[in-house]
Structure 1
Amino acid sequence: MRHAALLAAAALALAASAAAQAATTVLTVTSFPSFDESVKIAIPAYQKLHPEIEIKLTSLPYADHHTAMSAALATNANLPDVMALEISYLGRFAESGGLDDLSKPPYNGKPLQPQFHAFAWSQSFDSTGALVALPADVGPGALFYRKDILDKAGVSIEQMTQSWESFIESGKVIREKTGAYTLTGAADIFNTYIRSNLKAGEGVYFAKGGQSLLSTPRFTKAFELALAARKAGIDAKINPWSPEWREAFKRESLATQMMGAWLAGHLADWLNPEGAGKWRASQLPGGAFASWGGSFYAIPKASQHKKEAWDFIRFMSTNREQQLASFRKMGAYPAIPSAQEKSFLEEPIPFLGGQPARLLWAESARRIPSIPVNKFDPVANELVSAALDEVLEGRKPVAQALADADAALKRRVRR
């Protein structure tokens, strides 16, 4: 009898286990480094809330991920339930027709708007007004600088950031007295200037009605500043994220770097850990405020688990504890102001010499305007980058290079 009872209990346990496995939903999520770390951080907390959900995360390098997702949307095959997207690709993916409109049932996501930074929320729509993604993190722009190198050159950060012209002049002094460069490449100034202090509703490359902005004074000024930087000899002529870039930090030959606030974490973790205590952060030159990157979650129309996918991306984007955990552990600046915990913002950052730099980034995030994305942004960026190279290499004057790029962009858009 006892043996039979044991067998019956074992059978019940096996049946219960099988039933539990059958009830488990596997939610597939695709992402890219280091944004994928936020999912890894979230999984334990999320599965405590939802033990019936198993998160299966797949990650590919940044460019490979977006290429793979573009191909998947084009063929409607091998699509995940949840797709991570970086802002540079969002416009193209938004117009693909392969992402669900999160403002419609079963999602009805528009009431979430007040929770987000206005500029991040405005980037989440396609040209038809469909809400195609939820923001997860943002990138308020900042200028990182080596205080010891500036001190050696006798240049103050206040003097350096007074204007873009003073930034270039200060860079000349720093180069002369220390040998250090103040730009990775002259394009750094261009890329920052064209994104700074835009009017609300105005895109980087396109006006609200879709007209090209390449013929505006903003692009002319950006080209002229980049050319002035090149002539001043203050740019190292290397590419961000290249081995040469990492080596330049190691050799202390880069005195400043303009990028998103998240760069502080990269500097501390792998780009320049030996520079701990020597780096500081400031606002961008000339009173500029700009968004530098940002990551989003979208749900493909082919998702097999839409309800679960929606619950998960809401957790990743609007759960205060999750957003704060990503902020604390990987420097991902929260897309929701409620996760900008005052006490954490005020904490000194040891890598930045004890500077409470998060307060600067919070101010920047408050002052960044709402900038929509356009599906032709990557095309415009490609054409303008090529035009800038022609100017920097002396093959074309600014006016001609911009006029040619503008004409080429209009042809591409008309197709």
Structure 2
Amino acid sequence: MNLKTITLSSIIALSLASTANASDGDIRFDGFPDFDSSLKEFLPAFEKKTGIKVDYLMNNHGDHHTKLTTNLATGSGAGDVVVVDVEKIGPFVESGGLVNLSEKYGADKYAEKFAPYAWAQGKDADGNVYAIPVDLGPGVMYYRTDIFKKEGVAVDAAITDWDAYIALGKKLKKDDIFLIASAADVAQAIIYTTVPDGEGLYFDKDGNSVVTSARFVKAFTVAKTIRDNGLDAHITAWSNEWYEGFRNGTFATQLSGAWLLGHLKNWIAPDTSGKWAVSNLPDGIYGSWGGSFLSIPKQSKHQDKAWELIKYMTINPDTQLSAFATIAAFPSNITTYGDPLFDQPIEFLGGQKARQVFANVAKNIKPVQPGKGDHVARSIILENALMQVLDEGKDIKEALAEAERLIKRRTRNM
């Protein structure tokens, strides 16, 4: 799930409203928008069924994780159930502040109900489960069908490999249309989806950095080729320019998660309904673009009740489908994928049965074990080294070597 779409004013309003709901309940749920919209839908039924009253406290994405870090470190202040974003899951699982759900509740027996890659992300190095996936972000390519039709391009041909994707960009450029908002998204896709067996995103099984490997060189090279040929719009995600780009057809494709559909349809570009469709990512890759987990802090005094809520939100297919319908949170529970909802055409995507595409991607993503230093490495690689290459023309291997030195320094004591 992604909430960078929430404005400051709405964050304040949501936090104030949600804080008011965090007072007298049996247990408290700590998360970030738009979880509150989903909770409002299913909590009445949950409370009626179990007799457990649930209050919730919502903070914006960054503040929520900062607060949770402090809560776990000090041993107080956390809710009974807490949400953790996939980009933060590694360090939180290894923090020592969460309940071992395998040991206390036998969570491993539910493994087959979940996408394997997401289930693996909630485990520690010893294979114990500390976090249950609640939603996924299967990675897809959104594309403007009207632009593809005008250019006479078949989407399957355009995503055969990265060369074909770049060739599409060169064709579009002649008509003053960009291939994608930012070349950085392509680098991220390659880094996240081509992890060799036995490696994590940024570290090997022994905790050694792998950011100078061929995978990162390729990711940076493809992104740089796109940038050097003037094929991306230099537009940062979640900016006003990004929103306008979707509305005006400034760029023809966007690599993202299934959740982007809800944003496009509901507020970013509702007037473009019928002009979009989704496909697999280019080059035959399958990957995740977001996702969230639920955990129980050890400090909770109501752990059994908290576990009941987690089960209701993840193992119960009806709740998973409710969240899918309410906030476009793609189900982590794969037993839902046969529901008739997945066969319904989506008007915004020109009648495409896109949920089938999302489900197929989710089933094909390979498990990747998160590492304690992933959040540090991600910042150094995607927000620093990659930008130096794309914006400043820095040599790729030099940028990656420098990034590796920084990663080793900053993760030395983790």
Shift of 1:329: 2.6
Tell me what 1:100 maps to.
Answer: 99
Which residue identity lines up with residue 183 of structure 1 in the other structure? I
Tell me what 1:141 maps to.
Answer: 139
Q: Secondary structure, in 3 states, of the residue corresponding to 1:104?
A: helix
What TM-score, normalized by structure 2, do the two folds share? 0.90
Which residue identity lines up with residue 352 of structure 1 in the other structure? L
Pairing partner for 2:203 from 202, 206, 216: 206
Superposed CA offset, 1:371-392 (max 9, x none)? 1111100111111121111111
* Separation (CA, whole Å) in 2 of partners of 1:56 and 1:366: 34
- Do 2:25 and 2:55's aligned partners in 1 also have CA atoms closer than 8 Å? no
* Separation (CA, whole Å) in 1 of partners of 2:401 and 2:129: 34
Structure 1 pair 25–34 and aligned structure 2 pair: CA distance change class (3 A): closer
- Do 2:194 and 2:215's aligned partners in 1 also have CA atoms closer than 8 Å? no
Q: Secondary structure, in 3 states, of the residue corresponding to 1:126?
A: coil
* Separation (CA, whole Å) in 2 of partners of 1:91 and 1:210: 13
- Do 1:155 and 1:174's aligned partners in 2 also have CA atoms closer than 8 Å? no
Is residue 38 of structure 2 the alignment partner of residue 41 of structure 1?
no
Shift of 1:201: 4.8
Shift of 1:395: 4.3
Tell me what 2:381 maps to.
Answer: 384
- Do 1:200 and 1:370's aligned partners in 2 also have CA atoms closer than 8 Å? no
Tell me what 2:26 maps to.
Answer: 26
Q: Secondary structure, in 3 states, of the residue corresponding to 2:193?
A: coil
* Separation (CA, whole Å) in 2 of partners of 1:413 and 1:318: 35
Gaps spanning 5+ residues in structure 1: where? 1-23
Shift of 1:123: 0.3
Tell me what 2:221 maps to.
Answer: 224
* Separation (CA, whole Å) in 1 of partners of 2:119 and 2:197: 12
Shift of 1:100: 1.0
* Separation (CA, whole Å) in 1 of partners of 2:75 and 2:239: 34
* Separation (CA, whole Å) in 1 of partners of 2:65 and 2:304: 24
Q: Secondary structure, in 3 states, of the residue corresponding to 2:392?
A: coil
Tell me what 2:57 maps to.
Answer: 58
Counterpart mapping for 1:62-211 below 5 A: 62-105=61-104, 107-177=105-175, 179-211=176-208
Tell me what 1:254 maps to.
Answer: 251
Q: Secondary structure, in 3 states, of the residue corresponding to 1:253?
A: coil
- Do 1:197 and 1:368's aligned partners in 2 also have CA atoms closer than 8 Å? no
Is residue 329 of structure 2 the alignment partner of residue 345 of structure 1?
no
- Do 1:195 and 1:290's aligned partners in 2 also have CA atoms closer than 8 Å? yes
Tell me what 2:274 maps to.
Answer: 277
* Separation (CA, whole Å) in 2 of partners of 1:123 and 1:378: 14
Tell me what 1:234 maps to.
Answer: 231
Which residue identity lines up with residue 45 of structure 1 in the other structure? A
Percent pairwise identity? 39
What TM-score, normalized by structure 1, do the two folds share? 0.90
After TM superposition, the runs of 4+ consecutive aligned structure 1 residues lying more than 6 A away are none
Q: Secondary structure, in 3 states, of the residue corresponding to 2:55?
A: strand
* Separation (CA, whole Å) in 2 of partners of 1:286 and 1:336: 27
* Separation (CA, whole Å) in 1 of partners of 2:82 and 2:220: 35
* Separation (CA, whole Å) in 1 of partners of 2:226 and 2:193: 18
- Do 1:201 and 1:370's aligned partners in 2 also have CA atoms closer than 8 Å? no
- Do 1:29 and 1:55's aligned partners in 2 also have CA atoms closer than 8 Å? yes
Shift of 1:25: 5.3
Pairing partner for 2:408 from 387, 407, 410: 410
Tell me what 1:304 maps to.
Answer: 301
Tell me what 1:10 maps to.
Answer: none
Q: Give the superposed CA RMSD.
A: 1.5
Tell me what 1:19 maps to.
Answer: none
Shift of 1:129: 3.3
Which residue identity lines up with residue 389 of structure 2 in the other structure? V
Q: Secondary structure, in 3 states, of the residue corresponding to 1:144?
A: strand
Which residue identity lines up with residue 70 of structure 2 in the other structure? A
Shift of 1:408: 1.8
Q: Secondary structure, in 3 states, of the residue corresponding to 1:88?
A: coil
* Separation (CA, whole Å) in 2 of partners of 1:71 and 1:183: 38
* Separation (CA, whole Å) in 1 of partners of 2:283 and 2:150: 23
Shift of 1:200: 4.7
Tell me what 1:7 maps to.
Answer: none
Q: Secondary structure, in 3 states, of the residue corresponding to 2:135?
A: strand
Which residue identity lines up with residue 397 of structure 2 in the other structure? A
Superposed CA offset, 1:192-241 (max 9, x none)? 01111434553111122222111211100000001001011121112111
Pairing partner for 2:285 from 285, 288, 301: 288
Which residue identity lines up with residue 218 of structure 1 in the other structure? R
- Do 2:31 and 2:64's aligned partners in 1 also have CA atoms closer than 8 Å? yes
Gaps spanning 5+ residues in structure 2: where? 1-23
* Bigger shift: residues 362-371 or 149-158: 149-158
* Separation (CA, whole Å) in 2 of partners of 1:180 and 1:366: 33
Shift of 1:163: 0.7
Q: Secondary structure, in 3 states, of the residue corresponding to 2:411?
A: helix
Shift of 1:326: 1.4
* Separation (CA, whole Å) in 2 of partners of 1:302 and 1:56: 17
- Do 2:111 and 2:119's aligned partners in 1 also have CA atoms closer than 8 Å? yes
Which residue identity lines up with residue 113 of structure 1 in the other structure? A
* Separation (CA, whole Å) in 2 of partners of 1:210 and 1:141: 26
Shift of 1:96: 1.7
Q: Secondary structure, in 3 states, of the residue corresponding to 1:340?
A: helix
* Bigger shift: residues 336-345 or 315-324: 336-345
